[in-house]
Amino acid sequence: MKIIPIKYGESVLPESMIFPNGDKAKISHIDFIVYLIQYDNKTILVDAGCETMPGFDMRNFIGSVNAIKSKGFLPEEITDVVITHSHHDHIECVKYFKNAIVHIQKDEYEIGKKYIPNDMRLNIFNDRYSICDDIEIIKIGGHTKGSCIVEVRNCGECYVIVGDECYIRGNFAKKIPTGTSYCPKRSIEFLKKYGDGKYVILLCHDK
């Protein structure tokens, strides 16, 4: 198994988005990252990324599809796309992975179906779904109504691709959810469970 982080841009967020009651004038650097998982005969993309990001001052931005190609992968080689949630920067480019099965939680599908072409194959699930024995999508519902994480078990470790359940490692260190949490209670439960040192945390907006 290989888990490959693919960075395709950079920007900034005010601290008020990263932490509740954060300082709007204090700015933090963020990255835009998708993940590729190669396992058996599957090439799984966790989040589709975007090619536009209105309202953000983007830097070193090449878009997710170009970044994936730069790592030697073609869009048609992707067998599965997991959408952790339906915000623009996580779903816009799903249309380019036409050979893939798109795995999306049912509430997130209702929010994000405008991004998904009608001819794409869909797997719409409720609380959790196992792509294979060692890769499971789990609904958290902290960041958005149906937002999910992906647990990947390999060689005795459990890697967790967290989507936007937290933005930076400081959310885990302080056990404080983001300033944009849909359900802070679920976000705090997530931080307590996955911040106990037993998991390898892979973030979508922090190195």
The domain that holds 143 is classified in CATH as 3.60.15.10
Residues in Cβ contact with 156 at an 8 Å cutoff, skipping those fewer than 6 apart? none
Judge whether 145 lies within some domain: yes
Task: Return the structure tokens found at 49.
Answer: 């990324």
Judge whether 207 lies within some domain: no
Secondary structure element (H or E) that encloses residue 57, with its range = none
d(CA 31, CA 131): 27
Q: Report pTM.
A: 0.97
Judge whether 193 lies within some domain: yes
Judge whether 27 lies within some domain: yes
d(CA 145, CA 132): 25
Domain count for the chain: 1
- The residue count of the chain comes to 207
d(CA 2, CA 202): 13
Judge whether 117 lies within some domain: yes
Q: What is the pLDDT of residue 207?
A: 79
Q: Which residues of the chain are under the pLDDT cut of 50?
A: none
- Backbone dihedral angles phi then psi of residue 77, each to the nearest 5 degrees: -85, -10
Judge whether 41 lies within some domain: yes
Contact criterion met (CB below 8 Å) for 49 and 61? no
**Residues 123-131: contacts with CB under 8 Å, at least 24 apart:** 129/103, 131/42, 131/44, 131/80, 131/82, 131/103
Contact criterion met (CB below 8 Å) for 163 and 182? no
CA geometry: angle 97, 103, 104, nearest 5 deg: 115
Judge whether 52 lies within some domain: yes
Residue 80 belongs to what domain range? 2-202
Judge whether 66 lies within some domain: yes
